[in-house]
Amino acid sequence: MGIAANQARLMTLTARQNDLEYKAQQISAIKMQLSRTTSTLATNYANALNNYSKLNSAQQMGSQYGSDYFIVNSDGSYTRFTGSFNEDGQPIDKDNNVIANACLGSSLLSSVATKLGTGTYETANGYLSFQQGIYQTETERLSAQEKIYDMELTQVNTEHDAIKTEYDAIKSLCKDNVEKSFNVFG
């Protein structure tokens, strides 16, 4: 091949090399997004485990003290009410106001679940099973996607290495052609 043909081939290889580098960057960005999604999923599952312990504890306390009152805090924790009651048997504060966040032990599980924003579950184990199902399903889906992107990235890197090798060979050939062509006059 002549000098012009080799230069054209070098430009084509350079363009393809740049395209592959760009594609590798895109795949890496997608994989980073998958990692962020996986991290968020793990955080949500850890929160669910924390909520499970609160729900499980509330379920046990509710069954043990079904007719007693509990104060349910905004974070889903609770304390057994030991204060005063009005004539209707409802817990009251020091100003004789009915305590709004009090509930009977028999309804403690649903009250804690409502405060945690987990909905109403018949049991704490039902809540945990539901959260585990979500976590496992999503983790498997994200893992499968990541494997696909790993294979694509491997393919792109292999093609990039082959083009780099060909580029180096053509560049060397161009250099030899220039030396042979212009050494005639020297």
CATH code of the domain covering residue 145: 1.10.287
- pLDDT value, residue 166: 93
pTM listed for this prediction: 0.71
pLDDT in tens, 52-70: 999 999 999 988 888 889 9
pLDDT in tens, 102-147: 888 989 998 999 888 887 778 899 989 999 999 999 999 999 999 9
- How many structural domains does the chain have? 1
Q: Specify whether the CB–CB gap between 3 and 174 falls below 8 A.
A: yes
Return the residue matching tokens 């491997």: 154
- pLDDT value, residue 82: 87
The SS3 of residue 97 is coil
- pLDDT value, residue 185: 60
Kindly tell me if the per-residue pLDDT of 160 is higher than 90. yes
CB contact set of 146 (below 8 Å; sequence gap of 6+): 31, 34
- pLDDT value, residue 144: 96
For 77: left if phi > 0, alpha if psi spans -120 to 50, otherwise beta; the answer is beta
- pLDDT value, residue 184: 62
- If pLDDT is split at 50, 70 and 90, which confidence band does 16 have? very high
